[in-house]
Structure 1
Amino acid sequence: MSTDPAIRDHQAWLGYLQPDGLVVSPAALVDLQVILPRDSREEQQRFLECVTAGTIGTADPVPVIADLPGFLHSFLEWPDTLAGLRRVHP
C-alpha cells in the first residue's frame, strides 16, 4: 500500500466506483494533479436540496430526484438548454 496520501485517496475513490472497463490509475491522477476534495459538506447539502421522498413501485418512500432538469441546472450547473431539456419554472 502506498504511503502517499494522494495515491491512497485515489485508490479509495476508485475502489468505491467498482470499475468495469477502462480505468485511470491513481498514479496518473496524481500526475495530472487531480485533487479530491476533503470537505464535501456544501456539495452534499446542495445535493440533498434536490432530493425528495417519493415512491417508485414501492409502498415505502425512497429518495428521488423529481425535477431532473432542475437538478441538472442547479446542482450540476448545466445551462437550461443543454441536451434539449426544458426546465419548468414553478
Structure 2
Amino acid sequence: MSGVVVWEGDYVRIWDLGSWWCIEDKTLLNYPIVSQGETKTAARIYMEFTKIEGKLVPVRTYYLKTDFPYEVVERTALRLEKKRKKEFERLRRYLGYRQ
C-alpha cells in the first residue's frame, strides 16, 4: 500500500492515502481479499473483505477525508484495536490453560 502510516497499534494501523484514510486490520493481512463493497449512504466508505468460517470480515476500510475527520477514523481504529486485544488475550488465556 502506498501512503503514510499515521498511527499504528499492535493490531491495527491507520494509513493516509491522499484523499482517503484507511484502517487496516493487521491480524487479517495474510488472508486473501475475496470481496469489496461500499456504503450506499452520503458518507463514502469502501471496504475490502476476507472470508473466515463463511463470514465476510473487513480487512481494510477506506474513509473519504471530506466525509470523515481524522478524529472519527482514529476513534474507530482504537475501538477495533481494543476489540482485537481482548480477543487475543482471551486466546492466550485459553492456550495457557490447555498446556
Larger relative contact order (CA 8 Å, sep ≥ 6):
2
Structure number with larger C-alpha Rg: 1
Bigger proportion of residues as strand: 2
Q: What is the TM-score of this pair, normalised by structure 2?
A: 0.27
